[in-house]
Structures are given as structure tokens and as C-alpha cells.
A and B are shown apart, each in its own frame.
Chain A
Amino acid sequence: MNAHTPLRIGSSYVAALRAKLPHAVLEERWQTDRQATITVKLEALPEAVRTLYYVHDGWFSTMAGNDERGLNGTYGLYYVLSMGGAEKCHMVIHAQVPEDKPEFPAVTPLVPAAVWYEREVRDMFGLEPVGLPDARRLVLPDDWPDGLYPLRKDSMDYRFRPAPTTDAENYPFINDAKQETTVVPLGPLHVTSDEPGHFRLFVDGEDIIDADYRMFYVHRGMEKLAETRMGYHDVTFLADRVCGICGYAHSVAYANSVENALGIVVPERGQAIRSILLETERLHSHLLNLGLACHFVGFDSGFMQFFRVREKTMMLAEMLTGHRKTYSMNLIGGVRRDILAEQKLTTLKTLGELRCEVRRLVDILLSTPNIGGRVTNVGRLDPKVARDHSPVGPVLRGSGFRRDTRADHPFAGYLSGATPINVQTGCDVLSRTLVRVSEVFDSMAIIENLLNDTPAGPILTEDFTYTPYKFALGFTEAPRGEDIHWSMLGDNQKLYRWRCRASTYNNWPVLRHMLRGNTVSDAPLIVASIDPCYSCTDRVTVVDVKKSTTKTVAYKEMERYCRERTSSPLK
């Protein structure tokens, strides 16, 4: 007899869907106690997602397209919602798109948060979202041939690079302004750090009326690479390299997704070590962002002080994992390196020093006379806009929403109810910065508690069997917000599909709303306040688009203007 009765947290949502859409719910499958995949009829898809999103306090986490023609003759669409209501769980709405008619009713008109996902699934799988107003490409470059869909199983080898079809710049940028505006192109360099992204600011004098941007210039084809070239147990190392700042969060999210799919129970100590390292990563990432915040308001001495202190966290990471970045610590089933007694003592000592130093620096930063004027009420993210677009992490918490994956959906070593959530209600650059400041101190406390309380024991389990076509979600709270991975195993020791969504992917779409109504000189500061990460967002195809740079405001010039606020480059 099975002594373990499944809890099935979230059953009430399934029941509500069945009541709301009788005959539309075809099947429910539970991956874990808190994860269900509900198959609905294709025409009921938008209404099912809308019901969970707006009626039951669901938030849009990710959407995975999947070429399942080899399995059941259809394309699968998996809309993932993170439920914030009474029953904290993940609900996945699954619909099947027939092979001979590759189109589906778009969810975006009802739930705006789905817009990037539906544009991406059109690019990568050739599935047409009917009713989606935005007909532009998202991920594929403008010179990519029509009809070549990289993630279809029969389309192309992962090393194939098609010849460009055009040299012309033909991406239309959207401007909703009513009055006449001047166009300020920024990029292909990024306005806050040397990474590629192209911004168009539509300005009237010095005021930003609207903004649009184009990303994905450096897609690296990681999802395709993972599915074709790597074994499922090697992908943890690839996931480490999704991001140069918060790669470990991806590695844990990926490992979690496979562990959830196969029902692997990771030993307690392995889980705790994962959490300790995730918090170490958050420390260095937040200190980096605080340093950049100093830099962009023209306080470069503060920037250097924060980077000096941040170095301690990098040394900590190197001691605990062997590397400053790309920790390479995860295997499916646990971690590879234990924390020894001597390392524990050094960590506790370093954290003590770090706490004093960060407190002094934050004091200096907040008492700098001109800081308040630069960051208060700048780059407002209206809570209503946030609710419609599902941003994540400090961007969302800075607008007053109590959402943190560590507390809502405890994973790794985070105990239920033990993780504090830091919220600010100012909705501006200052609020987002203050959320990060509080999280730095919380991270230190979490590491200390885990180091002191975790009993000795195994750190890795190999007691599991690779089972074909199992799938599940894995998630972490990275420094920039929730990272969520959806993995389906194949039948050849590889993955059938890996959908990796980084936190910044959900934060880009709201940036437009944050830029509106501010001045040009605040633009870099606002962009920096979402702590953007291009490499995270850009995963899918290596491209090099030739850009006209003649009209572009040089990055250095823009940055100088933001710091000094004299001699506008627009005049």
C-alpha cells in the first residue's frame, strides 16, 4: 500500500477551471505535489490562462513551445503560471497545436504578459499566434530566412548559420506618442554596460515620450545545443554559463527541473549547500548593482568602494566552489563539493566583516546630498502595469508586491516560511535599490543560519533512473528575480526540450513604461535599475546584424551625460 498520499496543492484551481470551462479541460497530470499540467482544448487556451491569471492571482512565469510531432503529431504549448493565491503552486496550461495547421489563438490580448513568449514561439517554431497585434520578430534577426524555424526538430543542425537575406535595417520600432518627437537611437551598445541592445528613445526636447528596444543580438543557441549535443547530466554546466553574473541560479533551476521530473530526493545537505551558494551569488550581484547605481549618479568613489567590498564575496565563492563565477557545482541529484569546517569558519568571519563594511557604504551612499533628487520618483513602475506584465525580483518588489520564489515556492535549502520578503512601495529607482540593500543583509543571515544548522550527511544521490519523456519545472530566485526552466527528457540520455527563461526576460517589457515621462539623462539610470542582463535574455541563435551607427549617440557620451548632466548630446 502506498503510505504517501499526494498533497496536490492547487487542486482547487483545477476544479475552478473545470467549472468555468466545462468540456474544455481534457486531462490533468501532476509532476510534483505543487505542479500540475492541465491540457485544454486549443480554442479555450486564452480563457484558461486569463482565468488563472486574473481570477486566481496567477503570474505569468514562462511559456514553452515544444515540437512533439515525433511523439503525438502535435506541437505542445505550455503556459506556466506561478500561483500567488492561497494555494502556492505552479499551474501549467497545455494545449496541442495540430501539425497541419500551425496556429493558435493568442493569449496576449487577454494577458499582456504573454507577448514576448508568443512572438518567440512564432520565431522558433513557426506557430502563428492568431490575434497577436505585434507582427515583428523577437528573437530571430531581421536578415534570417523566412520559414526556417530553428527549434523544430527537422529544421537544422545546431551549427548551421544561414546566409543573411538582406543588408537593410528593416525592424520597425514602435512609437505611441501623439505629438511630434525626435528619435534618439542608442546602441547597438547598451546604455549601461558594454553589451549589445538597441534602444530608440522618442523624445520631445529632453523628455522621453516613448521608447522601444531590440535585443537578442547575441543569441548563443543554448537550448538547441543542449538538446542535440549534450547529455542531460552535462547541461548543468551549460546552464552555469547562461549568465555571467547569476549562472548558478540557472544551474540549480535546471537541476531542479530534472529532479522534479524524475522524483529525485536530493539529500538535505546538498540542498543547503545550493542555497548557501545561491545567496553568495546574490551578494556579489547586488553589490555590483549598488556600485553601478553610484556610478550612474556620478558618485564614482562609491562605485569603487562597493567593488572593493564585493571582492570579498568573490573570494568566498572561489573558496567554496573553486571558481569566482561559473561554479560548476551541480549534478543531477546534488552537489559535488562539501563545505569543510575550516571553510565554514572562514565564511562566517568574512560575512562578519562584510556586514560592517556594506552598512558603512550604504550609509555613505544614502547620505550623499544629490542622490535623493536623482533616484526618487524616477523610472516609476506603476503597480497596475506590473500586475499586467509579471515582472520579477526587485523590480516587482520595488512596486509593492510581496513575491519571492524563495518564500512562495520553497526550493533547495530554503525552508517554508523562513525567508523574509523585502518590499518597498515607492515604485521608483530608489525603491528597487533599497530592496537590493535589504536583500544583501538577508542573504548574509540566510548563509549564516544554513552553515550553523545543517547537519552533516551525503551531498549527492545517484539513486534514480533516467525515464524517457518525463517533464517538469524547476525554479530559483536569482538576484534579478525568478529563473524558471522547463525540461523534458528524451530517450537517448539527452533532453528532448529545454526551455530556459531568465529573470530579465520578464523585466524588459515593463522598461518601456518606466522610461516614459522621464528625461533623457535619466535613461541609463532607469535601465540600470532593472539590473539588466543581456546574456540571460539572449539564448537562442548566434547572429551578427550589421547596424548603421552614423546616427547613434555614443555610449560613452550618453553615460557621461547621465553622470554630469551638462552639455546635452541632443543639442
Chain B
Amino acid sequence: MFKLLKEIFRTGQATALYPFAPPQTIKDSRGKPEHDPVKCIACAACTGACPANALSMKTDVAAGTRTWAINYGQCVFCGRCQEVCPTNAIALTTEFELAVARKDDLITRATFKLAYCRTCGAAFSTLKEVDYVARLLGALAETPKEAERIRAHAEICPACKRRLDVEEMAQANPVRQMECL
């Protein structure tokens, strides 16, 4: 009994006054993921990595948009999205107070414009993603003309790329080349 009383006096007050005092957070804590739509290119890497299906991507061809969304009600705060994001557009914070009055408020959306193939006109990606690829590969180009060619190539959809590749190969006359070998 005496030991217990000693322990209680030694401890003093063990609890914090939260919510009347600021919460004690640890900087390594994994909390609410924050999305930066300016950096995001809507590549969908995060939606593939999310184990809880909290992240989703929906394409509306009629409206010409692709909508990225996060449902904080489903999020498990694992941070896989942050690991796979190529542009650092999503990052975990230490915020944890996520209660809302309406369920819909748990969902955050970002809408992006679709990119259309310069050859066939079909929607195949978002403008920002095409631009990101063109800039990334264009940085390797030695001349402005080469950069322009890379950009033009990035704006072609995968189906047309395959078709054009076949046509190009046919023009190069592979039969003659085989004979040379």
C-alpha cells in the first residue's frame, strides 16, 4: 500500500488536457495524406498501390476529364501512395483529427483534363501526364528539333504508336536489311 502511494505521488499528473490542450504528436507519425493537385499528373500509380482501395481514378470521356479521389474513411494511412508517386504530389502528414459531420466530406477529389491522340483523336491520357513524359524525355534531347519530335511522339496514343511503328518498319524495308546480314 505504501509503495503504491509512493508510486502515485512520484507520477504526478500522467494525462494530457487534450482536447483542451494541443495534441502531443510525434514527427514520425503517419497521418492524413495531403494531395497537391498542382504537382499531380493523374498517372494512377497511387491507385494501383493502395491496399485499401481508398484511392480511385475515374475517366469521363464525354466530359473530357479524369477524376482522382481519396476516401479518408477507407484510408489506412500506410503511405504506399507516397512511396510510388513520381512527382511527390501526395505525402502523409501528422494530422489525425479527421472526424466529419457528413460522410461525403471524407472524400477529396481532383479533376484533370484528358489528352487526345494527335493522330486518331481518341482520349488516352491526361494533358499533364503527356506533358510530364515529354519534358522528362525531352530533357535528354540534344537539339530543340529533337525535343519537338519527342513531344510529338508523346502525344500519340499507344495503339497509333504500334501502327506507326509497323509502317515505319515496312518503309525501312527489313527484307533488304536481312539480305545484307
Residues of A within 8 A of B (CB): 230-231, 234, 237-238, 241, 301-302, 305, 308, 311, 315, 318-323, 326, 328, 336, 343, 360-361, 363-364, 367
Do B4 and A323 have beta carbons less than 8 Å apart?
no
The answer to whether residues A360 and B76 also contact, given A237-B52, A319-B26 and a CB cut-off of 8 A, is: no
Least distance between B121 CB and chain A CB atoms (Å): 34
Residues of A within 8 A of B4 (CB): 301-302, 305, 364
Do A237 and B28 have beta carbons less than 8 Å apart?
no
The answer to whether residues A318 and B29 also contact, given A237-B76, A238-B51, A336-B83 and a CB cut-off of 8 A, is: yes
- Nearest B residue to A367, CB-CB: B3
Do A360 and B3 have beta carbons less than 8 Å apart?
yes
Tell me which residues from 109 to 149 in chain B have a Cβ below 8 Å from any Cβ of chain A.
Answer: none
> Taking chain A's interface residues, is the majority helix, strand, or loop, or is none over half, making it mixed?
helix
The answer to whether residues A360 and B30 also contact, given A237-B51, A237-B78, A328-B78 and a CB cut-off of 8 A, is: no
Q: Which of B7, B28, B52, B76 contacts A319 (CB 8 A)?
A: B28
Asked if B173 is at the interface (CB within 8 A of a chain A CB), the reply is no
Do B79 and A322 have beta carbons less than 8 Å apart?
yes
Residues of B within 8 A of A311 (CB): 14
Do B26 and A323 have beta carbons less than 8 Å apart?
no
Q: Which 8 A-B pairs have the closest CB atoms?
A: A322-B30, A234-B51, A328-B78, A237-B51, A308-B14, A364-B3, A318-B26, A319-B28
Do A230 and B51 have beta carbons less than 8 Å apart?
yes
Residues of B within 8 A of A315 (CB): 26
Do A364 and B77 have beta carbons less than 8 Å apart?
no
- Nearest B residue to A237, CB-CB: B51
Residues of A within 8 A of B78 (CB): 237, 328
Residues of B within 8 A of A343 (CB): 28
Residues of B within 8 A of A322 (CB): 28-30, 77, 79, 92
A234, A315, A320, most chain B CB atoms within 10 A: A234
Q: Which of B7, B29, B51, B52 contacts A323 (CB 8 A)?
A: B29
Count, chain B residues at interface, CB 8 A? 18
Separation of A234 and B3 alpha carbons in the complex (Å)? 49
Residues of B within 8 A of A305 (CB): 4, 7-8, 11
Do B3 and A323 have beta carbons less than 8 Å apart?
no
- Nearest A residue to B51, CB-CB: A234
Residues of B within 8 A of A318 (CB): 26, 28-29
Separation of A315 and B25 alpha carbons in the complex (Å)? 10
Q: Which of A326, A328, A364 contacts B79 (CB 8 A)?
A: A328
Least distance between B95 CB and chain A CB atoms (Å): 13
Binary contact readout B22-37 vs A (1 if CB under 8 angstroms, 0 otherwise): 0000101110000000
Separation of A429 and B76 alpha carbons in the complex (Å)? 37
Least distance between B54 CB and chain A CB atoms (Å): 11
The answer to whether residues A323 and B30 also contact, given A237-B76, A328-B78 and a CB cut-off of 8 A, is: yes
Residues of B within 8 A of A241 (CB): 76
Separation of A323 and B28 alpha carbons in the complex (Å)? 9
The answer to whether residues A328 and B30 also contact, given A230-B51, A336-B83 and a CB cut-off of 8 A, is: yes
The 6 sampled A-B contact pairs (Cβ below 8 Å) are: A231-B51, A237-B76, A301-B4, A322-B79, A328-B30, A336-B83
Do B76 and A364 have beta carbons less than 8 Å apart?
no
Residues of A within 8 A of B79 (CB): 322, 328, 336
Additional A-B contacts beyond A234-B51, A305-B7, A319-B26 (18; CB < 8 A): A230-B51, A237-B51, A237-B52, A301-B4, A302-B4, A305-B4, A308-B14, A315-B26, A318-B28, A320-B28, A321-B30, A322-B30, A323-B29, A323-B77, A328-B77, A336-B79, A343-B28, A363-B3
Binary contact readout B76-95 vs A (1 if CB under 8 angstroms, 0 otherwise): 11110001000000001000
B3, B7, B83, B92, most chain A CB atoms within 10 A: B7
Residues of A within 8 A of B30 (CB): 321-323, 328
Do B77 and A360 have beta carbons less than 8 Å apart?
no
Least distance between B28 CB and chain A CB atoms (Å): 5
Least distance between B82 CB and chain A CB atoms (Å): 11
Least distance between A280 CB and chain B CB atoms (Å): 14
Residues of B within 8 A of A308 (CB): 11, 14
- Nearest A residue to B3, CB-CB: A364
Separation of A367 and B6 alpha carbons in the complex (Å)? 14
Separation of A230 and B48 alpha carbons in the complex (Å)? 11
Separation of A323 and B8 alpha carbons in the complex (Å)? 29
Residues of B within 8 A of A302 (CB): 4
Separation of A354 and B154 alpha carbons in the complex (Å)? 59
A318, A320, A363, most chain B CB atoms within 10 A: A318
- Nearest A residue to B5, CB-CB: A301
Separation of A360 and B131 alpha carbons in the complex (Å)? 64
Residues of A within 8 A of B7 (CB): 305, 360-361, 364
Separation of A237 and B30 alpha carbons in the complex (Å)? 14
Residues of A within 8 A of B14 (CB): 308, 311
Least distance between A367 CB and chain B CB atoms (Å): 7
Least distance between A308 CB and chain B CB atoms (Å): 5
Residues of B within 8 A of A230 (CB): 51
Separation of A380 and B29 alpha carbons in the complex (Å)? 43
Residues of B within 8 A of A363 (CB): 3
Residues of A within 8 A of B76 (CB): 237, 241, 326, 328
Residues of B within 8 A of A336 (CB): 79, 83
- Nearest B residue to A324, CB-CB: B29
Least distance between A7 CB and chain B CB atoms (Å): 35
Residues of A within 8 A of B52 (CB): 237
Residues of A within 8 A of B26 (CB): 315, 318-319
Least distance between A138 CB and chain B CB atoms (Å): 29
Residues of A within 8 A of B28 (CB): 318-320, 322, 343
